[in-house]
Amino acid sequence: METIQTDLCIIGAGSGGLSVAAGAAQMGARTVLIESGEMGGDCLNSGCVPSKALIAAAARAHAMRSGAAFGITPAEPQVDFAAVQDHVARVIATIAPVDSQDRFEGLGVRVIRDHARFTAPDRVAAGAFQITARRFVIATGSRPVIPQIPGLADLPFLTNETLFALRECPSHLIVLGGGPIGMEMAQAHRRLGARVTVIEAGRALGRDDPELVAPLLARLRAEGVEILEDTPVTAFTGKDGLIRAVLKDGRGIEGSHLLVATGRAPVLAGLGLEAAEVEHTARGVTVGRNLRSVSNRRVYAVGDAAGPGGGGLQFTHVAGYHAGLVIRQALFGLPARATTRHIPRATYTDPGLASIGPTEAEARMIHGSALEVLRVSFDENDRAQTMLATDGLLKLLVVKGRPVGVAILGPQAGELIGLWALAIAGRMKLSTLAGTVLPYPTLGEVSKRAAGAYFSPRLFANPWVKRVVGLVQRWLP
């Protein structure tokens, strides 16, 4: 067995692990990266990239059906589902070289394609190699959680890891779980020709503001997606091609395919964390806000592998953010602490749903009477009018002239939230945003209008302002 001594050993070549590896190697640290699966991790191979490629194809199909209001004769698209999946595969293949072993070896990273297992607090075994390192980073990501529902384990269900291998469009797709993944894939498959039923035990998109979720669900239902909320499933029966979900009220929903989208759990099994003296739970490695293991200071965890101390948000961009914090500490010895107040989240339905910070209900518990809530509808935006995409709302939460939270329902919501991520991260005042000049007409003006709405009553409804203006006009030469 070959022994390797290195500065940094990273387990997992997903977003977080690749970011740490690239930064460390390029700044002169001896770096080993271990990955037993595909380079690029879940995001590239079975998550963000393929799902958004499928959503893009579905949007083209929907556009063909919905042109009447623009004077375009609607036409029913002829969907070649296998060709759609070929498109998805091409997108993955196009991006893959950026995450490839060849690229990272070119950056100076020693890449080992095998399973990693700690054998001591300062040592990892991987295939024919034994690696000792000054610092370790656990970046193993997460996998779908499969609920313990009777009969489910006996069925050929789908998860995001297998969904994109389908070559024929499901005739009736049952989606178990009404979170972002479930709702995105429900709408996409409906637009590509499938009948779709979403079954959610609680509230669909329960993490998001109900005021914005309600019109989104109405839109999905209008497109033909059946959404059952507060509807637990008590059992599954059936076989390949005929799956039956038995609901708590006794009803049965039958479909051709079942997609399980009920959340994700960190991948920690088989890592030998006990040998490493690394404390962990089902929610991830037990870390402090510095992402460092509370029980083994040599070890950091990033992304989905980090427990609640890292913020508990399972997003690719969070893993990238965590990577920067680890590099700051492990390479430069500088302090760093993770926070979630500036982390945006987006659901890529149509219309999109994006937010940053607390919901209104959460913000009221934190800030009480100091909270101000401003709302701007997309029907007040000229660009949205030209697109006939006016069913949207921007909801701005403000405390003492600074934004503390934003939720957006509307076209390109995931793009529009970026301005607010900058504002909250930079602790900007709304006066800065209100004074920004944006090109006309753009959807971005919704954000500027919301910032301006904070000042409107302070200027236009203030009698002192009118008196000052009157005096100035009287004496102004």
Binding residues: 52, 140-142, 177-184, 200, 263, 304
- Confirm if 351 and 391 have CB atoms less than 8 A apart: yes
Q: Where are the beta strands (DSSP E) in 315-465?
A: 344-347, 352-356, 371-377, 393-399, 402-410
Q: In 3D, which of 364, 359, 389, 367 has the Cα closest to residue 377?
A: 389
Q: Which residues contact 48 (CB under 8 A, 6 or more apart)?
A: 316
- Nearest 5°: the CA angle 403, 397, 353 is 100
Three-state secondary structure call for residue 355: strand
Binding site members for NAD(+): 177-184, 200, 263
Q: Can you tell me the distance from the alpha carbon of 442 to that of 71, in angstroms, rounded to the nearest whole number?
A: 23
User: In terms of residues, how long is the chain?
Assistant: 477
Q: In 3D, which of 304, 312, 224, 300 has the Cα closest to residue 268?
A: 304
Q: Can you tell me the distance from the alpha carbon of 307 to that of 293, in angstroms, rounded to the nearest whole number?
A: 10
- Confirm if 265 and 282 have CB atoms less than 8 A apart: yes
Binding site members for FAD: 52, 140-142, 304
In the block, residue with structure tokens 């050993």: 9
Q: How many CA atoms lie within 13 A of 446 on its CB side?
A: 36
- Confirm if 343 and 315 have CB atoms less than 8 A apart: yes
Three-state secondary structure call for residue 70: helix
Exposure string of 20-50, with b = 16+ CB inside 10 Å and e = fewer, is bbbbbbeeebbbbbbbbbbbbbbbbbbbbbb
Q: In 3D, which of 196, 139, 140 has the Cα closest to residue 163?
A: 196
Q: Can you tell me the distance from the alpha carbon of 305 to that of 281, in angstroms, rounded to the nearest whole number?
A: 10
- Confirm if 173 and 253 have CB atoms less than 8 A apart: no
